[in-house]
Amino acid sequence: TQLLEQSPQFLSIQEGENLTVYCNSSSVFSSLQWYRQEPGEGPVLLVTVVTGGEVKKLKRLTFQFGDARKDSSLHITAAQPGDTGLYLCRGAQKLVFGQGTRLTINP
Partner 1 sequence: GAGVSQTPSNKVTEKGKYVELRCDPISGHTALYWYRQSLGQGPEFLIYFQGTGAADDSGLPNDRFFAVRPEGSVSTLKIQRTERGDSAVYLCASSPGTSGYHEQYFGPGTRLTVT
Binding site for partner 1 (CB under 8 A): 6, 29-31, 33, 40-45, 48, 50, 86, 88, 90-93, 95-100, 102
User: Measured from the CB atom, is 64 or 101 closer to partner 1?
Assistant: 101
User: Measured from the CB atom, is 12 or 93 closer to partner 1?
Assistant: 93
Least separation in angstroms between residue 68's CB and partner 1 is 17
Least separation in angstroms between residue 16's CB and partner 1 is 26
User: Measured from the CB atom, is 76 or 90 closer to partner 1?
Assistant: 90
- SS3 category, 16: coil
Least separation in angstroms between residue 39's CB and partner 1 is 10
Q: What is the full DSSP assignment across 25-91?
A: -SS--S-EEEEEE-TTS--EEEEEE-STT-EEEETTEEEEE-TTSSEEEEEESS--GGG-EEEEEEE
User: Measured from the CB atom, is 78 or 86 closer to partner 1?
Assistant: 86
Least separation in angstroms between residue 2's CB and partner 1 is 9
> Bridge partners of 72?
23, 65
10 Å CB burial of residue 92 (0-12, 13-18, 19+) is middle
